Amino acid sequence: MAPNESEDGGKRVKAVMRSYRVIGVLREQGTVRINDVADALGVPTSTAHVHLKTLEAAGYVVKDEHGYRLGLRFLRDGSVTRGRLDVYDASRSEIKDLAESTGEVANLGVEENGQRVIVYQAEGDKAVYDNAPIGEFTHMHWTALGKAILAELPGERVTEIVDEYGLPAKTDHTISDRDALLEELEAIRERGYALEDEERRDGIRSIAVPLVSDGTVIGAVSLSGPKERFNDDRIVDELFPALRDRKNVIEVKYAYD
């Protein structure tokens, strides 16, 4: 199939784009039938069938008696991709230690294409899972990880991200005003950490610090948990110092390993 011109002047192959939309349906819905995919995408069942069979032949979709589902080749590809990130190698052991020492959920996040992505996660013995799985993409302004990274990005990049994705609210506490976000980013730079106060999920707070190398932000590390345990005193007296110490170690390892 010949590529078509997109509005930004780039080339796109419609069949490939549609296959990725099929993958998205399977990711969101789990095991599905051909009709489910056709209905979700608004395409004929014959078209959905061709894409599913092609992905099955490539090993990325598996068919069983219940229908079609994503294959474990995605796990292989994701593991390989993550393993090639220098910030992952530098951070992994420190994230584990953070989770063990605080008892909470510790996360490593990076920015890709203007969104926050969780690259690694470890859970302490008191951890409350906050429904943010490894590999999750989400709006930067919803999370402490995302805001910590935004605070270290050049102003023009922040503007690009906000222009592209907007500032939709996830909860009643989400920052959804551009000026308010810019004020928050300035406050983050001054105090050294970002705070997520039920902005993505009710009842959950998170604190994050940016990871910076040679003046460039390479990611962020966070701790997350129930707001009852993440009170202001604990954040200032215990969690921020713990994150700051790990941040320093990670940045040194990143620079010299």
Judgement on whether residues 87 and 65 belong to the same structural domain of the protein: no
Tokens of 180: 């308010």
Please check whether residue 76 lies inside any domain of the structure: no
Q: Which residues pair with 4 in a beta bridge?
A: 12
Tokens of 46: 């014959």
Judgement on whether residues 65 and 92 belong to the same structural domain of the protein: no
Please check whether residue 11 lies inside any domain of the structure: yes
Would you give the DSSP letter of residue 214? Answer: T
Where does the pLDDT of residue 154 fall: very low under 50, low under 70, confident under 90, or very high at 90 and above? very high
Judgement on whether residues 40 and 128 belong to the same structural domain of the protein: no
pLDDT tens digits for 204-251? Answer: 999 999 999 999 999 999 999 999 999 999 999 999 999 999 999 999
User: Residue 1's pLDDT is what?
Assistant: 42
Pick from 192, 203, 201: nearest CA to 142: 201
Interatomic CA distance for residues 236 and 253, integer angstroms: 25
Judgement on whether residues 56 and 178 belong to the same structural domain of the protein: no
Read off the pLDDT of each residue in 136-151 and give the average, rounded to a whole number.
Answer: 97
A 10 A CB-CB count for 145 gives: 33
Judgement on whether residues 124 and 20 belong to the same structural domain of the protein: no
Interatomic CA distance for residues 63 and 165, integer angstroms: 35
User: Residue 198's pLDDT is what?
Assistant: 96
Interatomic CA distance for residues 72 and 79, integer angstroms: 11
Element (H, E) at 94: helix 86-102
| Phi–psi pair at 194, nearest 5 degrees | -105, 145
Whether the model pTM is above 0.75: yes
User: Residue 12's pLDDT is what?
Assistant: 73
A 10 A CB-CB count for 235 gives: 19
Q: Does the pLDDT value for residue 8 go beyond 80?
A: no
pLDDT tens digits for 80-125? Answer: 999 999 999 999 999 999 999 999 999 999 999 999 999 999 999 9
Judgement on whether residues 61 and 111 belong to the same structural domain of the protein: no
User: Residue 237's pLDDT is what?
Assistant: 97
Please check whether residue 128 lies inside any domain of the structure: yes
Range of the domain at 189: 81-256
Interatomic CA distance for residues 175 and 209, integer angstroms: 19
Read off the pLDDT of each residue in 50-67 and give the average, rounded to a whole number.
Answer: 96
Provide the domain count of the chain: 2
Final residue in a domain of this structure, among 25, 53, 71:
71
Pick from 209, 190, 207: nearest CA to 248: 209
Interatomic CA distance for residues 236 and 234, integer angstroms: 6
User: Residue 120's pLDDT is what?
Assistant: 97
Element (H, E) at 149: helix 144-150
A 10 A CB-CB count for 80 gives: 9
In terms of pLDDT, which residue wins out, 107 or 10? 107
First-to-last CA distance in the chain? 45
Pick from 155, 254, 157: nearest CA to 212: 254
What is the greatest pairwise CA distance in the chain? 61
User: Residue 133's pLDDT is what?
Assistant: 87
Where does the pLDDT of residue 11 fall: very low under 50, low under 70, confident under 90, or very high at 90 and above? low
Interatomic CA distance for residues 157 and 231, integer angstroms: 32
User: Residue 128's pLDDT is what?
Assistant: 81
pLDDT tens digits for 155-207? Answer: 999 999 999 999 999 999 999 999 999 999 999 999 999 999 999 999 999 99
Angle at 136 between CA 134 and CA 138, to 5 degrees: 145
